[in-house]
Amino acid sequence: MALQTEKQILEAVGKGSHALVTFRKEWTPDAVASALALARLVEARGKKADIVCDGFVPAKQISFLPGIDRIAPSLDKMRKFVISLDVTKNEVDEMTYVMNGNRLDILVTPKSGQYSEADVSTRSSAFKYDLVITVDTPDLGALGKPFAEHPEFFYDTPIVNIDHGAHNENYGNINAVDITATSAAEMVHRLLKEANGGSLSEDTATLLLTGIISKTKSFKSATVTPRTLDIAADLVAAGAKRELIVQHLYKTRSISTLKLWGRALARIRQDRETGMAWAMLTREDFVHSGADERCLPDVIDELMVTAPEAEIVGLIYEQEGAGVCALVSSERHADSLGLVPDLRPEGSRSMARICFPDRDIRGAEQAVLQSIRKSLGKTAGGPRLVHGEREKREPLPQFNTGEVKREEREKTAVQG
């Protein structure tokens, strides 16, 4: 983000009175933390700020973030309906209102004479917000309902667009898009340093360090640069609570999630031509681990850390009564949905989800691999085990009540 861009953003904040800070529906901890920090910036300059994310419900891992409870799940009360009465000739003596069925009647009594219909006019007020700041959001459609329900507001209101993604559509009036940054928080840090003359509060520093740590997998991703480490050091010096962040982001994994991760790790496979690493999970895996589908994003994250050379990570899993589904995520390829376009994926660019109601788990595996190979322009080929060069098809394990020894081995592997 160039210095000139930073100044433009600060000038836009200074000209407004009430800013809307918002981010994509498929949010990340980086987006949440950066939005909270931006709201603090706006308010520090004497302006109002609201934060909105479509359907937002804070996950346990980010519940510690300062101000997390101020994020609203919907964009409401955008305009007021104004009824104007010309009182030039007749001053108002009394005014009341009553509900008459489904109608609201406003009763106005003049001090003398009477009012006529010609004295009354109606209009909509201006929008509640005079500035929009989006963060970590590739396009306006990613906002979900706020944009779908109020498109005219976004088209009529100045937008500051802050992002580090290569697929950002530069939809703002001011676009601060830097694909060399590791996170939105890294970019917000530069803006805050410009605004505050170098000083940051402990809470703001904690928010920004949370965004950076979450996006870089605690500085384990290949995107980390010397600049990232310098910023992290600056935030720690400003009082960022690193241990609290790590505790919540990485040390709150449930036992069931760890068990499921152990089962996935024991079955990890790799296609070296596409750079994909993946694992398959059966219904029995969920039963024996006590986990459910909500644990899978955490398992994906762990697989990314476990196989850092993998450019694409996936899970193919059986659902109780819902067939087979797959999750595909990638740090190398900015659009995960674009890796499997012919499978009608749902989700977001950071993680695609595909369901196969009529395929078994092996068929789903082949469909995902073929789709990725096709989208990357690779030749046909089969999967290879991550620890060997020889192609091999391993049967998925069958579980029974005499599985105690296997369970103990997996627990030891996870703990180790």
Q: What is the pLDDT of residues 92-127, one digit of tens each?
A: 989 998 888 889 888 899 888 888 888 898 877 678
* Spatial distance between the Cα atoms of 25 and 53, rounded to a whole number of angstroms: 6
3-state secondary structure of 285: helix
Check residue 304 and give its pLDDT: 78
Read off the amino acid at residue 43. E
Check residue 9 and give its pLDDT: 95
Mean pLDDT on 409-415: 46
3-state secondary structure of 208: helix
Read off the amino acid at residue 183. S
Check residue 3 and give its pLDDT: 57
In terms of Cα–Cα distance, which of 273, 338, 286 is closest to 317?
A: 286
Looking at every residue in the chain, the average pLDDT score rounds to: 86
* Residue 309 Cα distances to 276, 303, 330, angstroms: 9, 11, 11
Check residue 198 and give its pLDDT: 67
Tell me the per-residue pLDDT of 200-243, one tens digit each, with 9 for 90 and over: 999 999 999 999 999 988 887 778 899 999 999 999 999 999 99
In our burial notation (b when 16+ CB lie closer than 10 A, e otherwise), range 293-323 reads bebbbbbbbbbbeebeebebbbbbbbeeeee
Highest mean pLDDT pick, 107-111, 183-187, 216-220, 337-341: 183-187
- Residue 307: is its pLDDT beyond 80? no
* Spatial distance between the Cα atoms of 386 and 368, rounded to a whole number of angstroms: 17
- Residue 380: is its pLDDT beyond 60? no
Residues of each domain in the chain carrying CATH 3.90.1640.10: 3-76+128-248
Burial class (CB in 10 A: 0-12, 13-18, 19+), 158: middle
- Residue 382: is its pLDDT beyond 60? no
Q: Are 369 and 383 in contact (CB under 8 A)?
A: yes
Check residue 312 and give its pLDDT: 93
Q: Which CATH architecture has domain 3-76+128-248?
A: Alpha-Beta Complex (3.90)
End-to-end CA, the chain = 42
* Spatial distance between the Cα atoms of 262 and 13, rounded to a whole number of angstroms: 48
Residue 336 confidence class, pLDDT cut points 50, 70, 90: confident
Residue 348 confidence class, pLDDT cut points 50, 70, 90: confident
Check residue 413 and give its pLDDT: 46
Mean pLDDT on 347-353: 83
Check residue 217 and give its pLDDT: 84
Lookup: tokens for 386: 């991550």
135 Cβ partners below 8 Å, 6+ apart? 21, 22, 23, 31, 34, 35, 38, 162, 163, 184, 188
Find the helix packing angle between 202-215 and 29-44, rounded to 10°.
150
Complete DSSP assignment for 94-159: EEEEEEETTEEEEEEEESSS---GGGEEEEEPPPS-SEEEEES-SSGGGG-HHHHH-HHHHHHS-E
Mean pLDDT on 400-415: 44
- Residue 197: is its pLDDT beyond 80? no
Helix/strand/coil percentages in the chain, nearest 5? 40, 20, 40
Number of other residues whose CB lies within 10 A of the CB of residue 8: 16
Mean pLDDT on 52-63: 93
In terms of Cα–Cα distance, which of 218, 177, 183 is closest to 61?
A: 218
255-415: CATH topology is Diaminopimelate Epimerase; Chain A, domain 1 (3.10.310)
Highest mean pLDDT pick, 168-182, 185-199, 279-293: 168-182
Percent above pLDDT 70 for the chain: 89
If residue 39 lies in a helix (H) or strand (E), which one and from where to where? helix 29-44
Check residue 393 and give its pLDDT: 47
Pairing verdict, β 131-135 and 159-163: parallel
pTM score, two decimals?
A: 0.74
- Residue 414: is its pLDDT beyond 60? no
Residues of each domain in the chain carrying CATH 3.10.310.30: 255-415
Mean pLDDT on 156-169: 93
- Residue 383: is its pLDDT beyond 60? no
Lookup: tokens for 192: 């805050």
In terms of Cα–Cα distance, which of 361, 369, 325, 373 is closest to 345?
A: 325
- Residue 407: is its pLDDT beyond 50? no
- CA torsion through residues 298, 33, 333, 363, sign: positive
Tell me the per-residue pLDDT of 8-31, one tens digit each, with 9 for 90 and over: 999 999 999 999 999 999 899 999
Mean pLDDT on 243-262: 85
Tell me the per-residue pLDDT of 70-84, one tens digit each, with 9 for 90 and over: 999 999 988 877 888
Lookup: tokens for 364: 């789903």
Q: How far is CA 110 from the centre of its chain?
A: 55
Q: Are 298 and 253 in contact (CB under 8 A)?
A: yes
- Residue 408: is its pLDDT beyond 50? no
* Residue 305 Cα distances to 72, 175, 302, angstroms: 32, 32, 5
